[in-house]
Amino acid sequence: MSISENLDKIKKDIPPYVKLIAVTKTRTLNEIIEVYNSGHKTFGENRVQEMTEKHEQLPKDIEWHLIGHLQTNKVKYIAPFVSLIHSADSLKLLREIDKQAKKNNRVIPYLLEIYIASEETKFGLSFEEAEELLNSAELITLKNIKIKGIMGMASNTNDENLIRQEFSSLSRFFNLIRQKNKNYELEILSMGMSNDYKIAIEEGSTMVRIGSAVFR
Ligand SMILES: *Cc1c(COP(=O)(O)O)cnc(C)c1O
**CA 69 to each of CA 16, 138, 198: distance values in angstroms, whole numbers, following the listed order:** 28, 22, 24
Which amino acid is it at 173? F
Sign of CA dihedral 61, 34, 32, 23: positive
Asked if residue 119 has pLDDT above 90, the reply is no
What pLDDT was estimated at residue 95?
98
Query: For residue range 154-212, what is the model confidence (pLDDT) as tens digits?
Result: 999 999 999 999 999 999 999 999 999 999 999 999 999 999 999 999 999 999 999 99
How high does pLDDT run on average in the chain? 96
Residue 130's nearest CA partner among 140, 115, 109 is 115
pLDDT of residue 9: 95
Residue among 52, 6, 36, 53 at smallest CA distance from 210: 6
Ligand 1 lined by 69 (C-beta under 6 Å): no
Residue 138, classed as helix, strand or coil, is helix
**Cβ of 65 below 6 Å from ligand 1:** no
Predicted confidence at residue 8, as pLDDT, reads 94
The finding on whether 68 has its CB within 6 A of some atom of ligand 1 is yes
Question: What atom in ligand 1 is closest to the CA of residue 25?
Answer: 1
Q: Pairing state of beta strands 188-190 and 84-88? A: unpaired
Query: CB-side exposure of 55: number of CA atoms within 13 Å?
Result: 20
Ligand 1 mean position, distance from CA 45 (Å):
9
**pLDDT for position 120:** 73
Q: Does ligand 1 lie within 6 Å of residue 40's CB atom?
A: no
- pLDDT bucket at 122, cuts 50 / 70 / 90: low
Strand partners for 151: 113, 190
Band (pLDDT 50/70/90 cuts) for residue 1 is: confident
The SS3 call for residue 176 is: helix
Q: How far is the CA of 183 from the centre of ligand 1 (A)?
A: 31
Ligand 1 atom at shortest distance from the alpha carbon of 215 = 8
- Distance from Cα 210 to the centre of ligand 1, integer Å: 6
Q: Which pLDDT does position 139 carry in this prediction?
A: 96
pTM across the whole model: 0.97
> pLDDT, tens digit, for every residue of 129-140?
999 999 999 999
Q: Tell me, what's the pLDDT at 70?
A: 97
121 pLDDT band, cuts 50/70/90, is: low
CA of 193 to the centre of ligand 1 (A): 6
| Integer Cα distance of 199 and 207 in angstroms | 13
Protein residue with least CA distance to atom 10, ligand 1: 209
Residue 148 has a CB neighbour count (10 Å cut-off) of: 20
Atom number, ligand 1, closest to the C-alpha of residue 87: 13
Average pLDDT over residues 103-110: 98
Q: Which residues contact 126 (CB under 8 A, 6 or more apart)?
A: 114, 115
Please indicate whether residue 211, judged by its CB atom, sits closer than 6 Å to ligand 1: yes
Q: pLDDT tens digits, residue range 38-79? A: 999 999 999 999 999 999 999 999 999 999 999 999 999 999
Per-residue pLDDT at 63: 98
User: 18 CB less than 6 Å from ligand 1?
Assistant: no
